[in-house]
Amino acid sequence: MNKKAALFVLLGSILAPVTQAQIKHIEMRVEGMT
């Protein structure tokens, strides 16, 4: 059981940075908007 828990923690620490990686915010300066 402890081995399973350790495996989950290990997998979580490996996958977490990848799943959180993404575009956080976009800002555009536009012309011709009325």
Residue that is written with structure tokens 């012309």 in the block? 31
Amino acid at 19: T
| Rounded least distance, CB 3 to other proteins, Å | 24
17 binds other proteins (CB under 8 A): yes
25 binds other proteins (CB under 8 A): yes
What is the C-alpha separation between 33 and 9, in angstroms, rounded?
50
State which residue, 2 or 31, has the beta carbon closest to other proteins: 31
Number of residues this chain uses to bind other proteins (CB under 8 A) = 18
Binding region for other proteins (CB under 8 A): 17-34
